[in-house]
Chain A
Amino acid sequence: MQDENARRVISVIVVNEASVLSRITDLFSGRGYNITSLTVAPIPDSRYARLTIVTSGSIRVIEQITKQLHKLIPVLKVYEHADLVEKEIALIKFPISENITDIATLCAAYNGKISNVGENVIIAMVADEPKRIDNFLKIINKYNPKEIVRSGAVALER
């Protein structure tokens, strides 16, 4: 099957209480599902939090994941997204000796900018679709990035 290991984005609305994150991650590890990235933050003015999980698997596996997530007592809703807006942030540290103008221009093309300038390094930030972040990181490789950190994706259904 062509989509045997297709990338999927799942949002999970959970009661924001102790150990709820372990319940989710234990489910993934215990049943042999894969987590590519996971982000979590409280939903403003509610007792819930929202997780965005990027995973991969066949339609059948994703259906199982969705059902198993639903079975967890503190889970309110599970969305498996088809049509969504997805963003991710990356922070990249460059030596100050690199071409800052080039880097700044590239960042601008990926909804980013130079966020911090220090004595020896600059830190750039970009915010874009995960695929475009992949692309950006490939391009800036020649500017000798010292450290890269990615946030994992957040997503909203259109």
Chain B
Amino acid sequence: MQISGAQMVIEALIAEGVDTIFGYPGGAIMNVYDEIYKQNNFEHILTRHEQAAVHAAEGYSKASGKVGVAMITSGPGFTNAVTGIADAYMDSIPLVVISGQVPMSLIGTDAFQEIDAVGISRSCTKHNYLVTDAKDLARVLKEAFYIASSGRPGPVHVDIPKDVTAQIAEFDYSVELQLETYKPHTKGNPRQIKKAMEAIAKAKRPLFYLGGGIVNSNAAYEVRELVRKTGIPAVETFMARGVLSHDDDLLISMLGMHGSYAANMAMSETDLVIGLGVRFDDRVTGKLSEFAKNAGVIHVDIDPASISKLVNADYPIVGDIKNVVNEMLEQSSLVNPAKYSSWRESIRNFDELHPLTYHEDTDRLKPQWVIERVGELLGDSANISTDVGQHQMWAAQFYPFSRPRQWISSGGLGTMGFGFPAAIGVKAASPEKISINFTGDGSILMNCQELMTAVERKLPVINIILNNNYLGMVRQWQTLFYDKRHSETDLSVQPDFVKLAEAFGGIGYRVNTKEEFDAALKDAVEKNIVAFIEVIIERLENVMPMVPSGGSLFNMMLLEKKEKK
């Protein structure tokens, strides 16, 4: 059929089964917005900043497992979106980001709102396109969705000049994709898998090292079965929270810079690391040369470039986690779970020696208590987003996660301002769950304008602001490593967060006590409207335990021992 480029974008989104997109209009993308106005097939959620549109699309994608879609205009619209695109790239989130561009005739003339968008996005996308003819649009958009969601997922950016969206051309979305240069390897090599299983059977102290790739591959329940059948203890990365349930006996905890002592000691003592969908990030490994020093390494990942990038893999397996774990399950009878009982016992001892805990020794509320309390009250019924900083680490440490895709946080890029818009996307994807965003007094101000989006679209995100009047994580490092010189991290001057929420039509609470917190959370959940719950917390609380940057996992700074109140 002969239609305009703008209509093609709409038709492609419909053909891909998209039900919600996030965006912000502007000059160069107006032709497409005109077609959005005319259709009823999908929702468009207007965020109040382009960065938030991309974060919302990320949250939507992470909660639903579908490709997230964001739409923005050229120039500043696009550059505002770059942080979100980079965030999705670092955390392997499948997105299609469509941007308007100045007309072809003006490209290269420094036209109004012109920027070399594909030049900028090249290094933070899985792939990108500048579409120069409407007849290419069907193929490009189909490729974009396929590339974003297959292999190691990631954001794909499609830049479309304004005259291309106006151009009339033939559109046929049933075209077969011919990507002879892109063929992701999804099936693991059976011989390698067999060898890996034999190595596991032989190992004395094997350890599962579970990563975010498991969530992307929708393989959490297969992994749960593999862990249970083999009786091998497991640590999770920050990105993998919820792969195992918090009450699984074999789950030690999160490992890494703010992982538990037991998780990090297990990694230091293991003789065989079984890495599934992990990438040996520096926040996980600490000092590389000391990481799992005496262990063999099995590494399963869909991205060959992740394997042996930082830690040499003795058993490299390139493939989709779900396929590989299913094959491993078939051979799991090779492994005798009883064999590891003393290994499990010694890990329990580590945990008893230095459990992941905190002291309630001050008048002010402890942030960890707030997280645990939300876990007790809402547990599985909430999806948890966070911003970036101390609150994020406390949430990862103390929330009782029970399922994959419950945990939505910016891991790789560490983007302050991610949490609230992401939580809006999460709520749009998963309206039956309560959408909680744990945030800090620093982070929340980086996208607080999204109060308007949430209120307008009735997406009742509950933001729990853990307020210590500090840019807390930087303050912690300054306290520990910069001789308490708290340079530019004191946030004593603040808005009235209650009034801020109310100014946008939301509801605000300021709480100082446990009783007040319980009442505020209950009220916010019952009223089911957008909320800020500002919790005044102990100012100088640190995230503990901690592996100092570049240190070894087994050399942790630990929580001081005190009598529990």
Q: What residues make up the interface of A, taking CB atoms closer than 8 Å to B? A: 14-15, 18-19, 22-23, 26, 30, 60, 63-64, 67-68, 70-71, 73-76
Residues of B within 8 A of A76 (CB): 180-181
Q: What residues make up the interface of B, taking CB atoms closer than 8 Å to A? A: 118-119, 122-123, 126-127, 130, 147, 179-182, 303-305, 308-309
**Nearest-CB residue, chain A, relative to B119:** A22
Are B309 and A26 interface neighbours, CB within 8 A? no
Are A70 and B122 interface neighbours, CB within 8 A? no
Are A74 and B181 interface neighbours, CB within 8 A? yes
Closest 4 interchain pairs by CB?
A: A67-B305, A73-B127, A76-B181, A73-B182
Can you report 10 A-B residue pairs in the complex whose CB atoms are below 8 A from each other? Answer: A15-B181, A19-B119, A19-B122, A30-B123, A64-B305, A67-B305, A70-B304, A71-B303, A76-B180, A76-B181
**Shortest distance between the CB of B413 and any CB in chain A (Å):** 15
**Nearest-CB residue, chain B, relative to A14:** B181
Inter-chain CA distance A14–B305, complex, in Å, is 18
Identify B305's interface contact among A19, A23, A70, CB under 8 A: A70
Residues of A within 8 A of B181 (CB): 14-15, 73-76
**Shortest distance between the CB of A16 and any CB in chain B (Å):** 11
**Nearest-CB residue, chain A, relative to B147:** A73
Residues of B within 8 A of A64 (CB): 305, 309
Residues of A within 8 A of B123 (CB): 26, 30
Inter-chain CA distance A76–B181, complex, in Å, is 5
Residues of A within 8 A of B119 (CB): 19, 22
Residues of A within 8 A of B180 (CB): 76
Number of A-B contacts (CB under 8 A): 36
Residues of B within 8 A of A60 (CB): 308
Are A26 and B122 interface neighbours, CB within 8 A? yes
Q: Which label, helix, strand, loop or mixed, suits the secondary structure of the A interface?
A: helix
Q: Beyond A19-B119, A73-B179, A74-B181: 17 further Cβ-contacts under 8 Å?
A: A14-B181, A15-B181, A19-B130, A22-B119, A22-B122, A26-B122, A26-B123, A60-B308, A64-B309, A67-B309, A70-B304, A71-B303, A71-B305, A73-B127, A73-B147, A75-B181, A76-B181
Residues of A within 8 A of B179 (CB): 73
**Shortest distance between the CB of B314 and any CB in chain A (Å):** 15
Residues of B within 8 A of A15 (CB): 181
Inter-chain CA distance A68–B182, complex, in Å, is 13
Identify B130's interface contact among A18, A68, A70, A71, CB under 8 A: A18
**Shortest distance between the CB of B122 and any CB in chain A (Å):** 5
Are B308 and A63 interface neighbours, CB within 8 A? yes
Residues of B within 8 A of A18 (CB): 130
Residues of B within 8 A of A68 (CB): 305
**Shortest distance between the CB of A131 and any CB in chain B (Å):** 31
**Shortest distance between the CB of A60 and any CB in chain B (Å):** 8
**Nearest-CB residue, chain A, relative to B184:** A71
**Nearest-CB residue, chain B, relative to A15:** B181
Inter-chain CA distance A21–B127, complex, in Å, is 14
Residues of B within 8 A of A19 (CB): 118-119, 122, 130
**Nearest-CB residue, chain B, relative to A13:** B181
Inter-chain CA distance A26–B173, complex, in Å, is 32
Inter-chain CA distance A67–B181, complex, in Å, is 14
Residues of B within 8 A of A22 (CB): 119, 122
Inter-chain CA distance A118–B534, complex, in Å, is 82
**Shortest distance between the CB of B302 and any CB in chain A (Å):** 11
Are B130 and A23 interface neighbours, CB within 8 A? no
Inter-chain CA distance A60–B288, complex, in Å, is 15
**Shortest distance between the CB of B419 and any CB in chain A (Å):** 28
**Shortest distance between the CB of B100 and any CB in chain A (Å):** 19
**Nearest-CB residue, chain A, relative to B306:** A67
Residues of B within 8 A of A67 (CB): 304-305, 309
**Shortest distance between the CB of B322 and any CB in chain A (Å):** 21
Residues of A within 8 A of B304 (CB): 67, 70-71
Residues of B within 8 A of A23 (CB): 122
Inter-chain CA distance A67–B185, complex, in Å, is 13
Inter-chain CA distance A68–B308, complex, in Å, is 12
Inter-chain CA distance A60–B130, complex, in Å, is 34
Inter-chain CA distance A37–B378, complex, in Å, is 60
**Nearest-CB residue, chain B, relative to A29:** B123
**Shortest distance between the CB of B159 and any CB in chain A (Å):** 11
